Amino acid sequence: MRIGLISDTHIPEACEHLPARVFEVLDGVDLVMHAGDVYVNRVLDELGAIAPVLAALGNGDEGLDGHRHHLDTDDERVREAHVFEIEGVRIGLVHAIPTPDETSEEVFRRAIERNFGGPVDVIVQGHSHIEGVVRYGETLVVNPGSATLPRNLVDVPGTVAILEIGQGGEVSAEIISLG
- The fraction of the chain above a pLDDT of 90, given in percent, is 89
Could you tell me the pLDDT band of residue 144, with boundaries at 50, 70 and 90?
A: very high
> What are the tens digits of pLDDT across the range 16-26?
999 999 999 99
pLDDT tens digits along 97-114: 999 999 999 999 999 999
Q: Tell me the mean pLDDT in the region 158-174.
A: 97
Q: Which domains does the chain have, with CATH numbers?
A: 2-177 (3.60.21.10)
Over the chain, what is the mean pLDDT?
95
Rounded to 5°, angle at Cα 131 from 42 and 86? 70
State how beta strands 2-6 and 159-165 pair: antiparallel
Assess contact for 46 and 135: CB atoms under 8 A: no
